[in-house]
Amino acid sequence: MESFQVRTYGPSPCRAAVLHGGPGAIGSAAGLARGLAESCGVLEPLQSKYSVTEQVEELHRQLTAYASRPLVLIGHSWGAWLAALYAARHPGLAARLVLIGCGPLEAAYLPQLEARRLAHFTPEEAARYRELLAALSSPGSAPDALLRQLGTLCEKADNFQPFEEPDGDSGTIDGEMYDKVFGEAAELRRDGRLLAAFDRISCPLEIIHGVYDTHPPEGVTEPLSRRGIPYTFHLLEQCGHTPWRERYARDEFFRLLNDAVKKEAR
């Protein structure tokens, strides 16, 4: 079944929901949903709103319309933040959180992210990366096209040994959504509200991160540990930012996800 806002995969009832990254990489979690659907029913909500609050409430409408019980929320990249903000806003409506390739929860870790990414580029790629960032910050730019180019470049740096996904699984890019939602989300990180949201999460928390991911895992684990927030951490070898596309880590990744879902199906 598929509608404009939610895709469903696998058998009923759905046990998990996967949240795409970006913000604005709409449909980019399709491969994740399809892989997990081999063992359970999965929702893939597609975000369409242009503020953090609106995306959280849109997700609430999507989940409550399609599921009669709390789901395991599996968020990738920006989707990891969205899952956490949702679970903080609606305690008890998430059975478990699984954060995949989560970005740093404090701005102090951003220089590490930049250094890790640049280390994976050739000099020519690094120069192009800076050009694209500068172009995106210029008035009158074409954000959708520039973001596609930036995404292609970052994908090369962020992933270890990826295989190609089927056509359409990479999703579509909404540059306006990225600009507006990420700008707001970055402010939540800067002023500490993003990290503080984890204080209000009542369900179990798991973190899955690839060794090769340019997003430093310490940017997630260290702030949570300092705050006394419990979590389970899985670090995948030979794996980057998108584990379901990784040649050497995919099987272990889906084993971890299946275990997480099974814990809440008992």
Strand partners, 16: 42, 72
Q: What b/e string do you get for 56-75 counting C-beta neighbours within 10 Å, with b at 16 or more?
A: bebbeebbeebbeebbbbbb
Condensed to tens digits (0 to 9), the pLDDT of residues 192-242 reads 999 999 999 999 999 999 999 999 999 999 999 999 999 999 999 999 999
| Domains of the chain and CATH, by start | 6-264 (3.40.50.1820)
Residue with tokens 């999460």: 201
DSSP symbols for 54-65: HHHHHHHHHHHH
Residues with Cβ within 8 Å of 127's Cβ and at least 6 positions away in sequence, in order, are: none
Query: How many Cα atoms sit within 13 Å of 151 on the Cβ side?
Result: 21
* Span 90-119, pLDDT tens digits: 988 999 999 999 999 999 999 999 999 999
Residue 142 binned pLDDT confidence (cut-offs 50, 70, 90) = low
**What backbone phi and psi angles, to 5 degrees, belong to 233?**
-115, 130
Please provide the average confidence, as pLDDT, over all residues in the chain: 91
CA 136 from chain centre, in angstroms, equals 21
Residue 173's pLDDT band (boundaries 50, 70, 90)? confident
Task: Note the pLDDT tens digit of each residue in 18-62.
Answer: 999 989 999 999 999 999 999 999 999 999 999 999 999 999 999
The predicted pLDDT at position 263 comes to 86
